[in-house]
Structure 1
Amino acid sequence: MKIQIVTLFPAMLEGFFENSIMKRAVQSGSVEYEIIDFRSFATDKHQSCDDVPYGGGAGMVIKCDPLCNALDSIHAKEKRVVYASPSGKRLSQAYAEDLSKEDELVFICGHYEGIDQRVIDLYVDDEISIGDYVISSGEVSTLVIIDAVYRLIDGVISSESLSEESFHGGLLEYPQYTRPETYCSKDVPDVLLSGHHAKIGQWRLQKRLEKTLLNRPDLLETASLDVNSRKILNALKEHSAKGTGDDGCNEGY
């Protein structure tokens, strides 16, 4: 996938592509990226990219000319263009999976009070919100979307790892442990040390259901649950209704 990002602040983005899993994805050729500073496309001597909003109001709005000139330079109208905005559709795992199927994506980073609506009307295919809150940097929200998308590209992360993550199958991920076996008087659950793969699998399923029920019960309304999963979930709900708890080592479900 080729990722092109149009921004006023390239330095905020560069480190993301030069570290960790993304660095390996770039080195392997799974991801190609280009960062375009649209200030260089401004037409006045001060290279101004923002102005006061028509109709009054606080803050500044990013102008059409420099941003549109930058988008035209990369033929953005021929590609899928994403703009991160609190006014957009909510980002979800399914949305990220859809975007990951594209060969090319263009991202516009907003700032200040946002960008002129005419840029959105002319170029943007997907206006995406990362959550019900507002942040000051379009670069940060853009990187959230990119991070959710690129890791789903074939060859970036193993399919086994992806299948056990939060939201796969509509559930949150189970707890993870590593060495040492005891830390601050807290032990790794015995079942994870047993080497019994069937019991470990059952425990992990139980913990996924338990965490989802506690933190995101809304996900259970659309989750694809088999008979075994529904049996475990019903038992967890019964325990919750009775006010009883589970120490994380129960293998009986």
Structure 2
Amino acid sequence: MKIDVLTLFPQMLDGFLSESMMGRAQASGLVEVNGHNLRDWAKGKHKQVDDRPFGGGAGMVLMPEPIFDAFETLQTPQSHRICLAPDGEPLTPSIAESLSRKSHLILLSGHYEGIDERARKNLIDQEISIGDYVLTNGTLAAAVLIDCLCRFLPGFLGEEKSLTSESFQGSLLDFPQFTRPAVFRDMPIPEVLLSGNHAEIEMWRQRKREERTHKRRPDLLED
């Protein structure tokens, strides 16, 4: 899989892409991620990529010309083009899994007050939000999306079981986890986890998943 990220701050991706599983996946050729500075396609002495919004208002808006030029340079017939935007569809595991089957993604990271609507309407195949909050720029959102979808690439995770048993796989949150020592500062772990009875352990875990989901994310339980 190849992923191109268009952003005003490509260096923000450097540490994320070089560490842990993402670094190993790139070294092995499983995924290729390239950060591109949108200013490389800007015109003029000052490489301007933003301007004041028509109609007035606070802030600046990313101009369409450098975005169109960048996409026309990077895209191929196989490209799936994504805009990271707070008003996009919420990122879910099913969306991430679907994106992991694409051969080429182009991610456009927003900044300032937004992106000229002509670019969003004519260049973008899918708009995605990672949550109902505001970030300083969309590069952080792009990193979250990349990490989320790469976990679905065959061979990305060392233990495939961890993908199917973790939080948000299905409609329930994860169960509580414990490790050694069995008693820490007078806080013992649940006895069932020491029983060796795997059926009872699975029942306990399922019950805890339901309790946690009901308490923290009841929306996941809705039909």
Indicate whether the TM-score tops 0.5: yes
Aligned partners of 1:197 and 1:170: how far apart in 2? 22
Preserved CA contact (<8 Å) 1:83 1:124:
yes
Q: How many residues are matched?
A: 222
Preserved CA contact (<8 Å) 2:75 2:106:
no
Preserved CA contact (<8 Å) 2:12 2:139:
yes
* Superposition pairs of residues 63-74 of structure 1, within 5 angstroms: 63-74=63-74
| Secondary structure in 2 matching 1:88 | strand
Note the residue ranges of structure 1 that are not aligned, 5 or more in a row.
Answer: 223-253
* Superposition pairs of residues 76-155 of structure 1, within 5 angstroms: 78-155=78-155
Question: Partner amino acid for 2:96?
Answer: A
| Secondary structure in 2 matching 1:89 | strand
Q: Point out which structure has higher relative CO (alpha carbons under 8 A, 6+ apart).
A: 2
Q: Quote the sequence identity (%).
A: 45
- Per-residue CA shift, 1:172-191, capped at 9, x if unaligned? 11111112222232112122
Question: Partner amino acid for 1:40?
Answer: D
- Per-residue CA shift, 1:41-99, capped at 9, x if unaligned? 11101111111111111000111122221221112564111111111111111111111
Aligned partners of 1:2 and 1:112: how far apart in 2? 27
Which residue of the partner structure matches residue 205 of structure 2? 204
Which residue of the partner structure matches residue 184 of structure 2? 183
Q: Do residues 220 (structure 1) and 198 (structure 2) align?
A: no
Aligned partners of 1:221 and 1:61: how far apart in 2? 38
Note the residue ranges of structure 2 that are not aligned, 5 or more in a row.
Answer: none
Question: Partner amino acid for 2:89?
Answer: K
Which residue of the partner structure matches residue 250 of structure 1? none
- Per-residue CA shift, 1:154-201, capped at 9, x if unaligned? 111233111111122211111111122222321121222222222211
Which residue of the partner structure matches residue 58 of structure 2? 58
Question: Partner amino acid for 2:140?
Answer: V
Q: 1:76 to 1:50 in 2, by over 3 A?
A: farther
Aligned partners of 1:92 and 1:211: how far apart in 2? 19
Aligned partners of 1:24 and 1:59: how far apart in 2? 39
Aligned partners of 2:99 and 2:156: how far apart in 1? 15
Runs (4+) off by over 4 Å: none
Q: 1:63 to 1:76 in 2, by over 3 A?
A: farther
Which residue of the partner structure matches residue 171 of structure 2? 170
Question: Partner amino acid for 1:212?
Answer: T
| Secondary structure in 2 matching 1:65 | helix
Q: Do residues 23 (structure 1) and 23 (structure 2) align?
A: yes
TM-score under structure 2 normalisation? 0.94
Question: Partner amino acid for 1:9?
Answer: F
Higher alpha-carbon Rg: 1
- Per-residue CA shift, 1:125-161, capped at 9, x if unaligned? 1111112222221111111211211111111123311
More deviation, 67-76/124-133? 67-76
TM-score under structure 1 normalisation? 0.83
